[in-house]
Amino acid sequence: MNAEELKSRYNLGERDFRQTNLVGVNLKSVHLEKINLESSSLACADLTKAFLYESNFSDAFLYSANMKYVKLGKAQLVNSDLTKSDLQGSFLVKSKVCGAKLSGAILSGVNLRAANLEGINLCGANLSGINLRSANLKNANLCWANLSGARLNEASIQGAFMTGVNLSKAYLMKVDLHGMDLNGVNFSGAKMKFANLCGANLTATNFSGANLIFTDLKATIMNGSNLSNALLISSDLSAAVLMRADLSDAVLSKANLSKANLNLANLYQADLSGACLQNAYLWKTNLTKANLDGVDLSGASLRGAILDGVDLRNTKLTGAMMPDGTIFKTLK
């Protein structure tokens, strides 16, 4: 079927064009809202700037189709083949894309806000700057994907595979990542206020310069993680394991670090004012020039800790083990 016949029949009220052969057809800037092209073949078709709101492309073959700036809000793209298609700048808000094949597809600037992408394979995809706010990415394969600068606020990511993913400067406010394996993931400069990372594996993860204010990091494994210059104000790091972690110049004011393991960690010039480190482990921890004003270190172990340039006059040390191995006793 050619473009003119399709448009003519559509204008006469026909909407069902399932299993239609439209290979290479030119549908640039057409208005075909609510059209049903399920299982149709549109390989190499030109759909640039087409208006296709609430259309059905489920199981459609869209290999190498030009879909730049297409409007596909609330569309059905379930199990469609979008291999090597160009979706640059397209609008897919609230669309259902689960099961779609996107290998080699161009997705820069795509708006997938609140879209359903459950179980989708985006391994190695370049999704830089993509809008996935409130999207469903449960069980998706995001391994080695580039999501730098992506908007993922309030997205559902539980169960996703995230080995090697790049989330630098991404927006992840209120995202639930609890218990997930995020070993080595790049979160540098990410905005993660109010995120839930409780119990997650964050070994060797890069959080340098990230905004983690009010973030839940309880019982996380963060051995060797880079948290330099990170904002962790009022965050919960209780019982977290931060051995050899780099927290230099981090802001941890009013953070909860009770029972945290900070052995051999680097807290050079970190701001810990008002933080709680009750019963924390700080063996050979570098606290040089750290701000410990109003910090509660009662019951903490500071054996071998480096406290050069630290003012402890307004620090609570009741029952703490000091660097020389003695137990601090309040003078009566």
Over the stretch 177-193, which tens digit does the pLDDT of each residue have? 999 999 999 999 999 99
The answer to whether residue 15 scores a pLDDT higher than 70 is yes
| 86 pLDDT tier (thresholds 50, 70, 90) | very high
Mean pLDDT on 149-161: 94
Look at residues 69, 16, 281 and name the one whose alpha carbon lies nearest to residue 267: 281
| 330 pLDDT tier (thresholds 50, 70, 90) | low
Chain centroid to CA 292:
32
The answer to whether residue 124 scores a pLDDT higher than 90 is no
pLDDT in the model for residue 233: 98
Look at residues 125, 24, 40, 126 and name the one whose alpha carbon lies nearest to residue 81: 40
Least trusted range by pLDDT, from 78-92, 101-115, 231-245? 101-115
The answer to whether residue 8 scores a pLDDT higher than 90 is yes
Measured distance CA(116)–CA(156) in Å, rounded? 10
Tokens representing residue 12 in the block: 């006469």
Mean pLDDT on 217-228: 97
pLDDT in the model for residue 12: 95
| 81 pLDDT tier (thresholds 50, 70, 90) | very high
Measured distance CA(36)–CA(288) in Å, rounded? 66
pLDDT in the model for residue 332: 46
pLDDT in the model for residue 163: 92
pLDDT in the model for residue 109: 85
Which three-class secondary structure string do you get for the chain? Answer: CCHHHHHHHHHCCCCECCCCECCCCECCCCECCCCECCCCECCCCECCCCECCCCECCCCECCCCECCCCECCCCECCCCECCCCECCCCECCCCECCCCECCCCECCCCECCCCECCCCECCCCECCCCECCCCECCCCECCCCECCCCECCCCECCCCECCCCECCCCECCCCECCCCECCCCECCCCECCCCECCCCECCCCECCCCECCCCECCCCECCCCECCCCECCCCECCCCECCCCECCCCECCCCECCCCECCCCECCCCECCCCECCCCECCCCECCCCECCCCECCCCECCCCECCCCCCCCCECCCCECCCCCECCCCC
The answer to whether residue 196 scores a pLDDT higher than 60 is yes
Inter-residue contact 228 to 205 (CB < 8 Å): no
pLDDT in the model for residue 135: 95
pLDDT in the model for residue 290: 97
The answer to whether residue 208 scores a pLDDT higher than 90 is yes
| 331 pLDDT tier (thresholds 50, 70, 90) | low
| 319 pLDDT tier (thresholds 50, 70, 90) | very high
Q: Which residue has the tokens 């609140």?
A: 114
Tell me the sheet residues that pair with 76.
Answer: 56, 96
Alpha-carbon separation of residue 230 from 108, 248, 249 (angstroms): 28, 9, 8
Least trusted range by pLDDT, from 44-58, 121-135, 194-208? 121-135
Inter-residue contact 258 to 237 (CB < 8 Å): no
The answer to whether residue 269 scores a pLDDT higher than 50 is yes
Domains and CATH numbers, the chain: 16-171 (2.160.20.80), 173-332 (2.160.20.80)
Q: How many C-beta atoms surround the C-beta of residue 158 within 10 A?
A: 14
Measured distance CA(92)–CA(87) in Å, rounded? 10
The answer to whether residue 285 scores a pLDDT higher than 60 is yes
pLDDT in the model for residue 121: 87
How many angstroms separate the most distant Cα atoms in the chain?
96
Tokens representing residue 129 in the block: 């700057």
Look at residues 259, 271, 273, 170 and name the one whose alpha carbon lies nearest to residue 227: 271
| 104 pLDDT tier (thresholds 50, 70, 90) | confident
- Percent of the chain topping pLDDT 70: 99
